[in-house]
Amino acid sequence: MTALGSGMQPVLDVTGIHKQFPGVRALCDAGLRLFPGEVHTLMGQNGAGKSTLIKVLTGVYQPDSGSILLDGRPIRPRSTQDAQALGISTVYQEVNLCPNLSVAENIFIGRYPRRFGFVDWGSMRRQAAELLKRLQIEVDVGKPLASYPLAIQQMVAIARALHTDAKVLILDEPTSSLDEAEVQTLFGVLRRLRADGMAILFVTHFLDQTYAISDRITVMRNGEREGEYPCAELSRLALVNKMIGAPADAEQGAAQGEEAWERGEVFLAAHGIARKGVLQPVDLALHRGELLGLAGLLGSGRTETARLLFGADRADAGSIDVGGKRVKLANPRDAIAQGIGYCSEDRKHEGAILPLSVRENVILALQARQGIWRAIPMKRQQQLASDYVKWLGIKTASIETPIGSLSGGNQQKVLLARWLATEPGLMILDEPTRGIDVRAKQEIMDYVSNLCRKGMSILFISSELPEVLRVSDRMLVMRDRKACGEYRRGELDETSVLQVIAGEGA
């Protein structure tokens, strides 16, 4: 581990960054310090402001205020090219290179070495080979990039970043599509770069990886810098605690006045469902009238589990029973036919059909199940839409208003209505309360609990632990792409759940 002498000057010193988007305060007094020869991990929940901060550093966004010092000199990158020229290079989550060009070409795109005005291919190949050798990567630089696995492509992206004489290397979730061995290779490269004095900023959701590679950690929460900690001095529990933000009264609701809940029969049972590289085998059972909470950090396998149960992705292994009968869920249609509904976490891309009206959005899933020929009569459509607008308290000018002009909370309610209209036996709610205001949040949760009492099963996924603890009858905790514990209501308090999430023996 590198010694961080107190007299050492940070290569990158970012302080007091504010960034406001219309209606959202994305960053407030955010900052971070990066020293040469360290791997520094930036952690925080979804929406904590990590990506925004990185985009400010790389010139994608201009901050409203604040200062960025590179080697003690103030900079204000205006574009990614600008940032790169200053010495800040970034490798993004999705490798954004050209798969059909050769490895060497990818490294030198836009900066081909020239000789007499022509591209000097020989020199390009030589330089590329040297660069990759420095990373101890054995590849043929003349072959197309696509002929190598994703991990190698990631290395090529790093090599490309290095070629620009970067002082700071930012890796934005580089490991999310890599398998275990590939992650180790990547870490090997990072360690060598660190030994060479490179300052590396690493963004990830995986706790194990954070502890495997980091020297120091900066935690962000709600757009602010929560704190900066040496990795060795911050326990996993403390880290998760800081990311989530320990609430003042965790006991509230969980302990008090709940009528004894009676389990109905099992509605859905999953046995060892798994998907390679995404989810390790998970067992779970959902009873009628039960609300099962899925807790865990982003990337822990929560959404992945939900997508397998809904047939949105196909499971490579395991089996699913619905109502005691083995079923095959090859696509969402199959799941819907079995009475399963799924509100995706990505409202905008996987849920709302923005230009269409509230009415059309509400009836969509029901109409899809009825098939194309049996159109729901207009009268019935209007009835359904206005009923749900009333029951869920959806604020809209009319049922013919495009859903895109509604607020986030009201859009979410419309999508909830879409699934309720199909009268499902199991409703999967993936982060139904993300990014919506407190009141709408409360209304949605009340409505959901009520449905549960009437016999609907609900699988509830949320990053907000207090919310999960409050409403769940039972809770499944996930970590690092696998399930790691199941608890009845009242068995756990917030601290012990945090311990499980963080992976410290409870």
Partner 1 sequence: MNTRVDPALGKPEAPAASLRTVLLQHPLLRPAAALLVLLVLDALLVPGFFRLEIKDGHLYGALVDILNRAAPLMLAALGMTLVIATRGIDISVGAVVALSGTVAATLIGGTMVVNNGVPEYVANTPMGTALAAAVGVALLCGLWNGVLVAGIRLQPIVATLILMVAGRGLAQLITDGQIVTVYYKPYFFLGSGYLAGLPFSLFVVAALFALTLLLVKKTALGLFIQTVGINPVAARLAGLRTATLIIFVYVFCSACAGLAGLLITSNIKSADANNAGLLLELDAILAVTLGGTSLAGGKFSLAGSMIGALIIQTLTYTIYSLGVPPEVNMVVKAIVVFIVCISQSGEFRQLFKKRAA
Q: Which segment (50-58, 219-227, 264-272, 328-336) binds partner 1 by CB under 8 A?
A: 328-336
Could you say which residues in the range 378-437 bind partner 1, by CB under 8 A? 397, 418
C-beta of 104 vs 428, nearer to partner 1: 428
C-beta of 371 vs 505, nearer to partner 1: 371
CB of 372 to partner 1, least distance (A): 5
Measured CA to CA, the distance from residue 150 to residue 428 in angstroms comes to: 32
Please report which residue ranges of 164-206 form alpha helices under DSSP H. 180-195
- C-alpha distance from residue 59 to each of 164, 204, 308 (Å): 16, 21, 38
Q: Decide if residue 332 touches partner 1 (CB under 8 A).
A: yes
Q: Which of residues 88, 159, 364, 452 is near partner 1 by CB under 8 A?
A: 364
C-beta of 58 vs 396, nearer to partner 1: 396
- By 3-state DSSP, what share of the chain in percent is helix, strand and coil, each rounded to 5? 35, 25, 40
CB of 26 to partner 1, least distance (A): 25
Q: Which of residues 9, 100, 331, 405 is near partner 1 by CB under 8 A?
A: 331
Q: With helix as H, strand as E and coil as C, how does 272-309 read?
A: EEEECCCEEEEEEEEECCCEEEEECCCCCCHHHHHHHH
Q: Decide if residue 376 touches partner 1 (CB under 8 A).
A: yes
Closest residue by Cα to residue 38 from 84, 78, 1, 91: 1
Q: Which segment (175-183, 211-219, 362-370, 406-414) binds partner 1 by CB under 8 A?
A: 362-370
Q: Decide if residue 344 touches partner 1 (CB under 8 A).
A: yes
- Are 414 and 362 in contact by the 8 Å Cβ rule? The answer is yes
Helices and strands (H, E) in the chain, number of each type: 17, 22
Measured CA to CA, the distance from residue 391 to residue 134 in angstroms comes to: 63
CB atoms within 10 A of CB 368: 14
Q: Decide if residue 355 touches partner 1 (CB under 8 A).
A: yes
CB of 348 to partner 1, least distance (A): 9
Measured CA to CA, the distance from residue 417 to residue 411 in angstroms comes to: 10
Question: Across the strands, what pairs with 30?
Answer: 17
C-beta of 86 vs 365, nearer to partner 1: 365
Q: Decide if residue 466 touches partner 1 (CB under 8 A).
A: no
Token couple for 154 = 């990631």
C-beta of 346 vs 493, nearer to partner 1: 346
Q: Which of residues 202, 310, 460, 487 is near partner 1 by CB under 8 A?
A: 310
What CA dihedral angle connects 409, 422, 350 and 322, to 10 degrees? 120
- Are 479 and 277 in contact by the 8 Å Cβ rule? The answer is no
Q: Which of residues 369, 447, 449, 506 is near partner 1 by CB under 8 A?
A: 369
C-beta of 247 vs 355, nearer to partner 1: 355
C-beta of 162 vs 364, nearer to partner 1: 364
Q: Decide if residue 327 touches partner 1 (CB under 8 A).
A: no
C-beta of 349 vs 454, nearer to partner 1: 349
Q: Which residues lie near partner 1 (CB under 8 A)?
A: 310, 312, 331-333, 336, 342, 344, 349-356, 360, 364-365, 367-376, 397, 418
